[in-house]
């Protein structure tokens, strides 16, 4: 019930109500699980913002505002979902691909990977193929995560995988892509090993790849 209200509050850009509801929901049980439920429902709410924008009911300013609200929510919830690991279970290089400036989903995935015990190098938004290639060389990740929500991100992701191939770096790594514009067909076309529209599932895939004894 409260979760639905949270979703509606972010969808209607009601900042005060949103944070009042979040605090109310967390007051009983401020756990990582509750924080993740809140994120999932906020995501649902921002989808409505996107739809209203698409239908001409909302403007770009509203998109920006909803993005800011979601970022504020993540910042508030971060302490609940992140803990310092004793030892890293693997390395993930993460970035939003060229042409795409959206990073809210990437940041959620990053926080969840860190919470699971991965060392994450976040190279930021709008990253060229050459930057991915250079950073993979330097950081030597086990996994490369690419994020993007624009339709054009699919081509940029494919270009990045091709670039890693050309540089001879593809074989030693797993590649996972995420963001709302993706599908299984798109992931095949890109040449990724996996895709996910949900940060939680994405982290689980990465854990399975690493085969960490801690999770057996
Ligand atoms: C907020 C927002 C913005 C903000 C972004 C702020 C920011 N810092 O990110 C601002 C205002 C800047 C913006 C700009 C634009 N936006 Co915009 N935006 C949105 C909005 C409302 C929400 C996106 C979002 O953050 N969703 C919530 C996150 C949590 O979801 P997510 O990204 O999918 O992430 C989840 C999973 O996919 C996954 N995940 C994400 N990354 C990864 C990576 C890995 C490796 C894994 C495993 C998982 C994973 O985990 C996350 C959590 O579960 C969407 C609407 C929508 N329906 O999504 C439009 C939307 C994405 N934008 C859109 C458009 C058109 C634009 C603009 C072109 C608008 C304009 N005319 O200027 C520009 C483009 C700028 C650019 N070059 O990128 C369109 C895209 C259409 C398309 N298919 O290409 C959408 C769909 C709106 C619409 N319906 O028209 N936008």
- CA dist 67 and 81 (Å) reads 20
Which residues are registered as beta bridge partners of 121?
A: 93
The set of protein residues with a Cβ atom below 6 angstroms from ligand 1 is 43, 46-47, 49-50, 53-54, 60, 63-64, 66-67, 70, 99-106, 108-109, 145-147, 149-151, 176-181, 196-199, 202
Those residues with Cβ within 8 angstroms of residue 64's Cβ, 6 or more apart along the chain or in another chain: none
Mean pLDDT of 124-138: 98
DSSP 8-state secondary structure symbol assigned to residue 97: B
Determine the distance separating the centroid of ligand 1 and the alpha carbon of 28, expressed in angstroms.
32
Those residues with Cβ within 8 angstroms of residue 165's Cβ, 6 or more apart along the chain or in another chain: 191
Mean pLDDT of 25-40: 90
CA R_g for the chain: 18
Helix (H) or strand (E) holding 194, with range, is strand 194-196
Identify the pLDDT of residue 214: 52
Q: What is the DSSP string of 77-135?
A: HHHHH----SS--EEEEEEEBTT----HHHHHHHHHHHHHTEEEEE--SSB-HHHHHHH
Q: Is the pLDDT of residue 116 over 90?
A: no
Q: Is the pLDDT of residue 200 over 90?
A: no
What percent of the chain lies above the pLDDT cut of 70? Answer: 95
Determine the distance separating the centroid of ligand 1 and the alpha carbon of 83, expressed in angstroms.
27
Mean pLDDT of 118-139: 97
- CA dist 101 and 188 (Å) reads 23
Q: Are 116 and 63 in contact (CB under 8 A)?
A: no
Those residues with Cβ within 8 angstroms of residue 145's Cβ, 6 or more apart along the chain or in another chain: 92, 93, 94, 95, 106, 109, 113, 175, 176, 177, 178, 202, 206
Q: What band does 43 get if pLDDT is binned at 50, 70 and 90? A: confident
Closest ligand 1 atom to 195 CA: 47
Determine the distance separating the centroid of ligand 1 and the alpha carbon of 206, expressed in angstroms.
23
Identify the pLDDT of residue 83: 63
- CA-nearest residue, atom 65 of ligand 1: 150
The tens digit of pLDDT for each residue in 171-191 reads 989 999 999 889 999 999 999
Rounded to two decimals, the pTM is 0.83
Task: Please give the structure tokens belonging to residue 165.
Answer: 């191939």
Dihedral angle, C-alpha 39, 44, 45, 51, nearest 10 ° = 150
Pocket test for ligand 1, best of 103, 180, 181, 202 (most atoms within 8 A of CB): 180
- CA-nearest residue, atom 11 of ligand 1: 64
Identify the pLDDT of residue 104: 83
Which residue has tokens 């086990």?
142
List the end-to-end C-alpha distance of the chain, in Å, as a whole number.
35
The tens digit of pLDDT for each residue in 52-81 reads 988 999 998 998 898 889 888 988 988 887
Q: What band does 88 get if pLDDT is binned at 50, 70 and 90? A: confident
- CA-nearest residue, atom 10 of ligand 1: 64
């Amino acid at each position: 019930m409260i979760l639905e209200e949270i979703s509606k509050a972010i969808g209607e850009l009601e900042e005060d109500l949103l944070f009042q509801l979040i605090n109310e929901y967390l007051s009983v049980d401020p756990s990582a699980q509750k924080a993740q439920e809140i994120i999932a429902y906020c995501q649902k709410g921002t989808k409505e913002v996107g739809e209203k924008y698409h239908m001409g009911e909302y403007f770009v300013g509203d998109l920006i505002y909803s993005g800011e609200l979601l970022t504020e929510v993540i910042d508030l919830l971060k302490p609940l979902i992140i803990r310092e690991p004793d030892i890293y279970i693997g390395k993930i290089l993460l970035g939003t691909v060229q042409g795409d400036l959206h990073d809210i989903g990437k940041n959620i995935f990053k926080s969840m990977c860190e919470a699971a015990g991965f060392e994450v190098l976040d190279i930021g938004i709008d990253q060229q193929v050459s930057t991915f290639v250079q950073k993979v060389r330097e950081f030597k990740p086990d996994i490369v995560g690419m994020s993007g929500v624009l339709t054009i991100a699919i081509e940029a992701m494919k270009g990045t995988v091709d670039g890693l191939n050309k540089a001879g770096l593809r074989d030693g790594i797993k590649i996972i892509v995420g963001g709302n514009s993706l599908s299984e067909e798109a992931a095949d076309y890109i040449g990724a090993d996996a895709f996910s529209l949900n940060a939680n599932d994405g982290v689980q895939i990465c854990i399975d790849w690493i085969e960490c004894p801690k999770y057996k």
